[in-house]
Amino acid sequence: MQLPQIRIQSQQAKISLQTTDATVGIQQPGAEQTIRQPEAEVTMHTTPSKLTIDQTQAWNDMDLKSVFKRTEEFAEHGKKSYLEGIARRVQEGKEMMKIEKGGDPIVSQAKRIDDRKIKEFGIGWIPSHFAVKIDYQPSELDINVKINAPEIKNTAQKPQYNYQPGQVHTGMKQYQSLKVNFEGLKFYGVNGFELNI
């Protein structure tokens, strides 16, 4: 038995390419730069020192007091003596009112009056410790510095470039083809018609 056959033979197309590379040339000129540095500004302000010596307490300790201090002390002493005198007389009056209850208030009052007359003596011309008060305020130095920023100027240069584009040439190295062969293939028509293809 012989089977019909179809034989196909094909050939692919081939393209040929020829390329020329692109070329790029770049040149970068250097930038121009100028720098200027202004000097810093310095200002100084000095507050003078201050020495204060207060001898008031020392003069008071040596009994060399001012008129105002003397007047103040005399007034204070008078007020105190006045109040003490009133209290003493009230106390003595109460003791005399109770004389009938015994005791000897007149003698005891006379002794108290006699004891008040005794004075204590002390050296009054030597001032007490730390009577002279000294206050010292040191001087102050104020320094103000104003920094000036540098002045920088830049001038950029654009790059210089040259570009040559590449090229591509195309062509057909081989064309495509297709061959078809038939063997044992027959066509049967009406009324016994037969045809070899």
3-class state of residue 14 by DSSP: strand
- Determine the Cα–Cα distance for residues 18 and 170; give it in Å rounded to an integer: 6
Judge contact between 10 and 176, C-beta under 8 A: yes
> pLDDT of 159-179, one tens digit each?
898 999 989 989 888 889 888
Percent of the chain scoring above 90 in pLDDT: 27
Stated pTM of the model: 0.33
> pLDDT of 78-115, one tens digit each?
889 888 888 888 888 888 887 777 777 777 777 777 66
